[in-house]
Amino acid sequence: MKRSAFAGPYVVWMILSTVAPLLFVVYFALTDRSGAFTLENLAKFVDPIYLGVLWRSLYLAFYCTVICLLIGYPAAYFLASKDFARNQALYVLILLPMWMNFLLRTYAMMSVIEDTGMLNNFLKWLGLQPMEIIGTEGAVLLGMVYNFVPFMVLPIHTALKKMNVRLIEAAEDLGAPPAQVFYRVVLPLSLPGIVTGITMVFMPAVTTFAISRLLGSGNFFLFGDIIERQFLESNDWNFGSALSMVMAVLILISMSLLNRVDPKKEGSGAY
């Protein structure tokens, strides 16, 4: 039996779970309720309301990715350093939230930042004025960072652990200061992990809807909320599919731009 035969079940699974659903999305996006071909669904997308929601989703996902990178890279760097080689406690603390359900993590964050939550009760105990966080873009951004920061830490940590330590030692032996060693050696070698982390954070952040619904208290919508409403409330599968196709195209464009940074796909093995 040829080796390619063992890939048969995987190919069938990919066709049923990936290719077929995408074809259905394209079909519904380019047809009306009667099944006739139309571009009206895509034309509705240029409405300022939907473009505004898309812009809000993009910049919140961008801020989330930047914050996750600023938090995740130092955490991954310390985890990969010799000082933490035998200390797994910090690594477990980073992985621990991923062991819980996504909605449970979001509800936990909601119980912390809501008006009568732990944070405001602590501020009242200190004699300070409580803050109104829940129902704002800041609350949604906080929930995104909390949920997605492990997806930034893990690939960067893997890339740093796979790094050839002799290159760092060679740079130090040649008299390079620590800052130059980091910017000239460590940072370029960890770039594949950074690219993978950005991809793993930005894509779910730009399409999320549960976080905005729970932490945003329905005060504003993200693009994922609009898509969900078309399928579950408006029962307009055609327009919902058109919005989904637009989002898929935007994600493919962002991935192609990131692939230019990592053309050899070295980051794909980071996780």
Let me know if residue 117 belongs to a domain: yes
Let me know if residue 113 belongs to a domain: yes
Q: What CATH code is carried by the domain that includes residue 86?
A: 1.10.3720.10
Please report the pLDDT score of residue 85 as a whole number.
54
Is 193:175 a contact under the CB 8 Å cutoff?
no
Phi and psi torsions of 37, nearest 5° = -65, 135
Tell me the torsion sign for CA atoms 161, 166, 170, 173: positive
SS3 37: strand
Please report the pLDDT score of residue 221 as a whole number.
87
Let me know if residue 134 belongs to a domain: yes
Let me know if residue 93 belongs to a domain: yes
Let me know if residue 103 belongs to a domain: yes
Number of domains in the chain: 1
Let me know if residue 4 belongs to a domain: no
Is 246:45 a contact under the CB 8 Å cutoff?
yes
Q: Tokens 């460590």 appear where? A: 186
The tokens for 147 are 């949920």
Let me know if residue 20 belongs to a domain: no
Please report the pLDDT score of residue 168 as a whole number.
85
Is 79:91 a contact under the CB 8 Å cutoff?
yes
Residue 146 CB: number of other CB atoms within 10 A? 19
Tell me the torsion sign for CA atoms 110, 111, 112, 115: positive
Tens of pLDDT, residue by residue, the chain (271 residues): 567 777 788 888 889 888 999 999 999 999 998 989 999 999 999 999 999 999 999 999 999 999 999 999 999 998 887 766 555 777 777 778 778 888 889 999 999 998 888 999 999 998 888 888 898 999 999 999 999 999 999 999 999 988 888 888 888 888 888 889 889 899 999 998 999 999 999 999 999 988 998 998 878 889 999 999 999 888 999 999 999 999 999 888 888 877 776 655 554 444 3
CA angle 231, 232, 235 (to 5 degrees): 60
Going by C-alpha positions, the residue among 100, 73, 99 that lies closest to residue 196 is: 73
Q: Containing domain of residue 121, as a range?
A: 41-269
Please report the pLDDT score of residue 2 as a whole number.
67
SS3 140: helix
Please report the pLDDT score of residue 171 as a whole number.
87
The tokens for 235 are 């029962």
Distance CA 29, CA 222 (A): 20
Distance CA 215, CA 163 (A): 39
Please report the pLDDT score of residue 270 as a whole number.
40
Let me know if residue 132 belongs to a domain: yes
